[in-house]
Structures are given as C-alpha cells and as structure tokens.
Amino acid sequence: MTTGPIPVIDFAGACDCHMHIYDSRYPVATGATLRPADASVDDYRRVQRLLGTQRVIVVTPSTYGTDNASTTDAIAALGPCARGVAVVADVTDDELARLHRAGIRGIRLNLTLPAPVSLDDLPTLAARIAAYGWHVELNLPPEWLPDAAGMLAALSVPMVFDHYGHLLLGKPQAESAFRVIADLVSAGNAWVKLSGPYIESLDGAPHYGDIQPLAARYLNLAPERMLWGSDWPHPSAQARGGQPVDDAAVLRTFIGWCGSSDTAQQVLVRNPQKLYGFGDVVPA
C-alpha cells in the first residue's frame, strides 16, 4: 500500500483563501495580459492534499474579465467547502443573485492590471452588494491608499486587501500605505490576505525574509483579521518566468511566521469561516 506525502497542516476546516482556475475552454478577455497555462480543479485537488487544506476561495482572475464562469464552475466542482470572489462591472441585480446562489461572497477590483472598473466605481458597487453580506477585495497599488483612505473608511461593506497590500517595508510609500490599512483593520472593517510573498519579495525563496517583518506587523496588529492564500497557480510568478513556487514550503514558512499553533488556526480556520460564511460545520 502506497501513501502520499504528509500534509503540511492537519487543522480541520483550514482554508486557502486565494487561488484561481485557468482553463483554455473559457474565453480570454480582450486586453488580458496574464494568460497562464491551464490549471484545473483536479490539479488543485492535488495541491489541497499536499497542504492539508479543506476549504477554498476561488477568485476570478483578470484573464477572464467579468466572465465568472471559470470560478462558479470550479465552486460547483469543489463542493460545499468552496466559495468564490467574482469580478463585475455593469452587473444586473439578477446576476448578483445568481452569483450569490453559486457561492460568490465578494467582488474583486484588481487595479494592478487593466480592469473593467475603476476605484471610482467602488462605492456604488459596494452599496449594491451590501444586501448579500459580501465584501470587496482590493488589489491595488499601495501609493493610491493615502488618497483613497476616506472613501475606503466610508464603504458600507468589509474590504479585503490582497497580497500583503503589495507592501515591501523600506519602500518610500510602504509606511503611509500600511498605516491606512492598519487603521481600517483596527476599525473592524478590513482584512488582509497574507498571500503571495514572492510577489513583492526581493529576497525570494525559500524564506522570503524581507516579507517576514511585514507579516509580523500584520499578525501583531490583528490576528483575527488576517487570512492566508496560496495564490495558486501563481500567475504573476509564471509571468515573470521565475522558478516554480513550492506551495508546501511557502505554507510551512507562513506557519512559522505565525509563531503559535493557535494563531495559525485563527488565520487558517476561524477567520475564513467567519468572513466567507462557511458556518460551524467542519468538513470531514
């Protein structure tokens, strides 16, 4: 009898809060700049077994614009332990209701790449999704944050900042941007995805040592507002032509940064259970 590798974690209900599905059967949006190789639900299940995660958040990538079919189809295939984050623009009320039934629990503004909406559209979109209990997920240049702070503080829904807020301590804009995020987190209206350390790291694998101080600041600030995501299949790393990302090693590094099993469980289990509405049922 053969057995697979031992999973990195064994926390019941652990959630990978950020991954994407790519499939060449879905039409690519006009002007899309990221076009990774296919990465299927079956491919991701192997990653799940390696990591030991059971819940997952599928995020519509920029590749497909406002076509969320790759995400909703993946949620259906992955089952009740999956939720999703969609991309919308001129969306109808009926479509919002359909997306909610399909497991969508937030909308993403990816403004680091050409996007179908702008930051100016955010207050209107936030008001429209509030009735569903959704959040807005923000992937935006950190230098925008000081000017956007007032608008973000007034939003009627929670917000989630992707990928450590794209901060790298030591860069000129990092401290003022961190303060905006920290104020929103402290006010109880924001979360941060501690995902994709390789995106901003100059040190790189295997330890991403220049990201660790930022992770520590976030975890010390509000561990109850932090999330973790694999960013599988690592589209930005693929686009740069770098070495393949070792998903298990990245998760082990992050757990080490948490400093304790309780903090790791807070980030990996309890926080996503609350934000994404998984309820109290822990998957078998």
Per DSSP, the three-state class of 39 is strand
Which residue type, as a one-letter code, is found at position 187? Answer: A
* pLDDT, position 240: 67
Contact 63, 23 (CB under 8 A): no
User: Tens digit of pLDDT for each residue in 67-120?
Assistant: 999 999 999 999 999 999 999 999 999 999 999 999 999 999 998 877 788 899
**Residue 170 class from Cβ within 10 Å (0-12 exposed, 13-18 middle, 19+ buried)?**
exposed
pTM for the model: 0.94
Which CATH number applies to 15-276? 3.20.20.140
* pLDDT, position 241: 64
Q: What are phi and psi of 239, to 5 degrees?
A: -65, -30
* pLDDT, position 280: 47
* pLDDT, position 195: 97
Q: What is the DSSP letter of 225?
A: G
d(CA 156, CA 127): 6
Per DSSP, the three-state class of 261 is helix
List of E strands, 165-254:
190-195, 226-229
Contact 142, 174 (CB under 8 A): yes
User: Tens digit of pLDDT for each residue in 168-187?
Assistant: 888 878 999 999 999 999 99
Can you tell me the mean pLDDT for 181-210? 95
Q: Which of 64, 56, 45, 44 is nearest to 84 (CA)?
A: 56
Q: What are phi and psi of 243, to 5 degrees?
A: -70, 150
d(CA 180, CA 84): 26
* pLDDT, position 1: 43
* pLDDT, position 283: 40
pLDDT band at 281 (very low <50, low <70, confident <90, very high): very low
Q: What are phi and psi of 11, to 5 degrees?
A: -80, 120
Look at residue 277 and tell me whether its pLDDT is greater than 80.
Answer: yes
User: Tens digit of pLDDT for each residue in 140-179?
Assistant: 999 999 999 999 999 999 999 999 999 988 887 899 999 9
Q: How many residues does the chain have?
A: 284
* pLDDT, position 177: 96
- Selecting among 231, 246, 262, 280, the annotated active-site residue is 231
Name the token pair of 203.
């040190």
List of E strands, the chain:
15-19, 55-59, 82-86, 104-110, 135-139, 159-161, 190-195, 226-229
Share the mean pLDDT of the chain: 93
Q: What is the DSSP letter of 156?
A: S
Name the token pair of 80.
């009740």
User: Tens digit of pLDDT for each residue in 19-57?
Assistant: 999 999 999 998 888 888 999 999 999 999 999 999 999
Identify whether 231 is a catalytic site residue: yes
